[in-house]
Amino acid sequence: MAWIRKAWAAAMMGSALLAAAVGSAAAAETRAKAILVLDASGSMWGQIDGKAKWDIAKVAVDRLVTGWDPAIDLGLTVYSHRSKGSCDDIEDIIPVGPVDPARFKAVVGSISPKGKTPMTAAVKRAAEQLKYTEDAATVILVSDGEETCNLDPCSIAQELEQKGVAFTAHVVGFDIRDQATRDQLKCIADNTGGTFVLADDAASLQAALATVAAATAAPAPAPTPPPPPPPPAQTTGKGKVTFTAVLNDGVPVTDNGMRWQLFRDIPTQEELRDPVDYTYAAVWSPDKVEPGDYIIEAKLGTATVQQPVKITGEKQAVTVNLGAARLKLTAVEAEGGPAIAKELGWKLRDPATGKDIDYSYDAQPTFSAKAGSYLIVVDYGAAKAEAPITVKPGDIAQVTVTIGAGTVEVEARPSETEPMATSGVSWKVFPEGSDTTTTYSYDAAEIFHLNAGRYRIVAEIGEALVEQTVEVKAGEAQKLTFTLSVGLMKPTAIYAAGAPKPTKDLSWSVYKAQADMTGNREKVTYSYDLEPQFKLPAGKYYVEVETGVAKAGMEVEVKAGAPTAPVINLNAGAILAKAQAGGIKVSSDLNWGVHSLVAAMTGTERTKVTYSYDPEPVWIVPAGTYIVTLEAGGKSAEAEITVEAGKPTQVTLTLP
């Protein structure tokens, strides 16, 4: 599409401007530095034209960094992509440096939005990464919502501006539906001398990123010249036309979330190009237009109307009939119950296509849409409900959706003697009689909202689990405490008494102590940590540790609420081998073998224990006597050695 092509061209022009700016900076032995801060909060799964905003953002970022000039340093910070409820989920994923477009694409493509919107903390963190108090620093923020982590964006932005050498934050507001959020985002840009741009679809997001990219590298403005004398008065039409909108005749629109765009009406042009002017307001009197033929576009929610208008230069009023309705939504758990005040997710769905055309995370949202039939879908935690509705032009429908849900609060105690767990708990909820998960959580204490019915709730701490069956009734809340019988096993491995502890390459396995009739034990868990901590149900276990070809184990009893710290002696040492020929070190094409000596009816036999092709191998082996062999270039050598527990044994084989 022409609009997308233009956005892409603008993005490339933004990169060119950045390159030009950096070129001059390089002369002063400095480099322009910026960090792109991406919003990966849960609301980024909302859809625009049937496509998730996050998917739109991924494409926009990919196009922005593709072809990026290598002289421009850029980093990437993302928030709310790892945890649903944390305000600390901010990660500097790509450090500031030359741009690798493939890396940006791979990293952004691997992210899955989840949580809150700690955008203020993310901007501040990015500024600190750029050492904003020492160097010029630019942050580009892309966000689709307001701050939800109790920081004041305006005051923090002002603080960064005051403390920074030359700090600037450019902000792209993506699919912003309310004035308060727009004001909040705009304040960040205004307080730091940055650029604020709104975008509400794929093309405009790409154009917005191009705009802030260009602003990132733009040189400081020249001093403002004295204003020219005012021109003689003339009729231009500026500010003389006023646009208003109605849902239908007699039903005016008073919502400042109304978006207006004015385009030139060019008969030979198949698509609308860049708007002459735009705004978000209930009533609009543009002051940047001359008399002529235009197309006015009015958009409220998902209702969009375009109509031609001739601006005459005289005072005129233009009314746009949206042919739309407004749906004011409320949800209750049970019939006649109070309105639910939080944790709701709403979607307005086209029943003919099954596509979601609008969404909201407000408790009581208002959707604006063209007259027609829709399906209202509401999520309340894991509880869901749907309600069909048909609206006519001018309708203002008050809709209450009864979800038929109840609340279950859960907490877990590791054992009878311990307080409630504050971490390390996982929860799964299943419908009774089913293994299909309804919902889950990794919070120590959780509140589940579930549709009425019977459920099986499972609590897990480490390898211990316990479950309860609960009946959920609409409009009712209940609290359940789960008590597990968990003990802590903290095993340690040693090579020998008094010897240094292993520092790497340990493999632990925990089995049930009772072996079956074939002598095999059921594996419970494993770890590759040097000193693992296993949370296990009370009982008897066999714990085994392995490093190199050395292996040892012992039976351990775990008691609920108590730690146990078994020490397992590997009774092992190390073999350190080298090769030489004629007094010169040999380090290539080597084939090493380590053999144990086994008594057999035919005499002492060799059994290969391990091998290596390294020039100077190191083997961990049980204490004992071994034959070390070496083959290289058709020649061979060997030596018998004795390995003592806890000690290294060095051997040098000389090839003939």
pLDDT at position 173: 87
Residue 136 confidence (pLDDT) above 90: no
Kindly state the tokens that stand for 358: 């609008």
Residue type for position 151:
L
C-alpha to C-alpha distance for 442 and 437, rounded to whole angstroms: 14
What tens digit of pLDDT does each residue of 339-353 get?
A: 999 989 999 999 999
pLDDT at position 48: 80
pLDDT at position 584: 92
- pLDDT class of 215 with cuts at 50, 70, 90: low
The mean pLDDT of 161-178, rounded to a whole number, is: 86
Residue 651: alpha-carbon gap to chain centroid: 52
Percent of residues in the chain assigned helix, strand, coil, to nearest 5: 15, 45, 40
Residue 228 confidence (pLDDT) above 70: no
C-alpha to C-alpha distance for 218 and 32, rounded to whole angstroms: 11
**Residue of 166, 186, 162 lying closest to 176 (CA atoms):** 186
Residue 176 confidence (pLDDT) above 90: no
Phi, psi of 250 (to 5 degrees): 85, 0
What tens digit of pLDDT does each residue of 383-433 get?
A: 999 999 999 999 999 999 999 999 999 999 999 999 999 999 999 999 999
The mean pLDDT of 648-654, rounded to a whole number, is: 96
Q: Report yes or no on whether pTM surpasses 0.85.
A: no
CB 232 within 8 A of CB 222: no
**Residue of 76, 84, 92 lying closest to 115 (CA atoms):** 84
pLDDT at position 550: 96
Q: Which domains does the chain have, with CATH numbers?
A: 33-217 (3.40.50.410), 240-321 (2.60.40.10), 324-402 (2.60.40.1120), 405-484 (2.60.40.10), 487-569 (2.60.40.1120), 572-654 (2.60.40.1120)
CB 454 within 8 A of CB 478: no
- Return the SS3 of 487: strand
Residue 232: alpha-carbon gap to chain centroid: 57
C-alpha to C-alpha distance for 322 and 259, rounded to whole angstroms: 12
pLDDT at position 33: 86
C-alpha to C-alpha distance for 346 and 349, rounded to whole angstroms: 10
The mean pLDDT of 512-522, rounded to a whole number, is: 92
Residue type for position 143:
S
The mean pLDDT of 226-249, rounded to a whole number, is: 66
CA atoms within 13 A on the CB side of 507: 6
The mean pLDDT of 252-272, rounded to a whole number, is: 87
Q: Which residue has the tokens 């009425």?
A: 452
The mean pLDDT of 450-466, rounded to a whole number, is: 97
C-alpha to C-alpha distance for 295 and 313, rounded to whole angstroms: 16
What tens digit of pLDDT does each residue of 93-109 get?
A: 898 988 888 888 888 88
Residue 2 confidence (pLDDT) above 80: no
How far, CA to CA in Å, does 280 sit from each of 198, 199, 298, 361, 389?
A: 10, 12, 10, 21, 28
List 294's β-bridge partners, or say none: 264, 309
Kindly state the tokens that stand for 349: 């769905």
**Considering the chain, what percentage of its residues have pLDDT values greater than 70?**
90
Beta strands in 192-291 (DSSP E): 196-199, 241-248, 251-252, 259-264, 277-280
Which residues fall within 8 angstroms of residue 314, CB to CB, at 6 or more apart?
235, 237, 240
Which H or E run includes 12? helix 2-27
List 585's β-bridge partners, or say none: 580
**Residue of 105, 123, 243, 255 lying closest to 180 (CA atoms):** 255
The string over 359-383, giving b where at least 16 C-beta atoms fall within 10 Å of a residue's C-beta and e elsewhere, is bbbeeebbbbbbbbebbbbbbbbbb
**Residue of 158, 139, 155 lying closest to 147 (CA atoms):** 155
The mean pLDDT of 459-466, rounded to a whole number, is: 96
The mean pLDDT of 289-307, rounded to a whole number, is: 93
List 73's β-bridge partners, or say none: 33, 98
End-to-end CA distance of the chain: 76
C-alpha to C-alpha distance for 617 and 586, rounded to whole angstroms: 13
**Residue of 323, 300, 328 lying closest to 371 (CA atoms):** 323
For the chain, the farthest-separated pair of C-alpha atoms sits apart, in whole angstroms, at 120
The string over 145-181, giving b where at least 16 C-beta atoms fall within 10 Å of a residue's C-beta and e elsewhere, is bbbbbebebbebbbbbbeebeebbbbbbbbbbbbeeb
CB 425 within 8 A of CB 459: yes
What tens digit of pLDDT does each residue of 577-607 get?
A: 999 998 899 999 999 999 998 888 888 889 9
pLDDT at position 511: 97
pLDDT at position 6: 36
Residue 216 confidence (pLDDT) above 80: no
Among 5-9, 317-321, 423-427, 642-646, the range scoring the smallest mean pLDDT is 5-9
- pLDDT class of 234 with cuts at 50, 70, 90: very low
Residue 219 confidence (pLDDT) above 50: no
C-alpha to C-alpha distance for 450 and 382, rounded to whole angstroms: 5
Q: How many residues does the chain have?
A: 656
Residue 233 confidence (pLDDT) above 80: no
Q: Count Cβ atoms below 10 Å from residue 590 Cβ, excluding itself.
A: 21
CB 451 within 8 A of CB 403: yes
Strand 136-143 relative to strand 166-174: parallel, antiparallel, unpaired?
parallel
How far, CA to CA in Å, does 341 sit from each of 147, 333, 457, 594, 630?
A: 18, 11, 25, 70, 75
Among 150-159, 323-332, 538-547, the range scoring the smallest mean pLDDT is 150-159
- pLDDT class of 89 with cuts at 50, 70, 90: confident
Is the pLDDT higher at 652 or at 179? 652
The string over 214-240, giving b where at least 16 C-beta atoms fall within 10 Å of a residue's C-beta and e elsewhere, is bbbbeeeeeeeeeeeeeeeeeeebeeb
Among 73-82, 178-187, 197-206, 306-315, the range scoring the smallest mean pLDDT is 197-206
C-alpha to C-alpha distance for 579 and 103, rounded to whole angstroms: 43
Residue 145: alpha-carbon gap to chain centroid: 15
The mean pLDDT value of the chain amounts to 87
Highest mean pLDDT among 172-176, 566-570, 587-591, 598-602: 566-570
User: If DSSP states are collapsed to H, E and C, what string results for 81-111?
Assistant: CCCCCCCCCEEEEEEEEECCHHHHHHHHHCC
Phi, psi of 292 (to 5 degrees): 155, -170
Which residues fall within 8 angstroms of residue 110, CB to CB, at 6 or more apart?
none
Which H or E run includes 537? strand 534-537
